[in-house]
Amino acid sequence: MASTSSIENDIAALRDDLAVLRSDLSSLVSSLKADAASNMQRTANKVEENVQDLYRSAVKSGEQSAQQISKQIEEHPLLAILLVLGAGYLGGRMSR
């Protein structure tokens, strides 16, 4: 009978150890979830900032290009008119 009592004590100790292990694993998973969510949020914020920077850069580049084109048109109006007429003519011929 002593061996049965010893086995029951061992089983009870194993159950207690498993309960502690289950609790520790649950805490670990919760911590990993929180860390992952935090990392995802930081990454999303960085991506958003990069997209905004790219947008600002594209807008600035577009404005500079428009200013350069406008300057060229002001400096050479006859050439600009001829280019537009030529492009329109070619576009009309190609669409037929």
- The shares of helix, strand and coil residues in the chain, as percent rounded to the nearest 5, are 95, 0, 5
Rounded to an integer, what distance in angstroms lies between the CA atom of residue 22 and that of residue 39? 26
Which residue ranges make up each domain of the chain?
2-95
Rounded to an integer, what distance in angstroms lies between the CA atom of residue 50 and that of residue 6? 65
What tens digit of pLDDT does each residue of 58-74 get?
Answer: 999 999 999 999 999 99
| CB contact burial 2-25 (16+ within 10 A = b; e otherwise) | eeeeeeeeeeeeeeeeeeeeeeee
Question: Considering the entire predicted model, what is its pTM?
Answer: 0.54
> What six digits make up the tokens of 54?
């790219």
What tens digit of pLDDT does each residue of 39-57 get?
Answer: 999 999 999 999 999 999 9
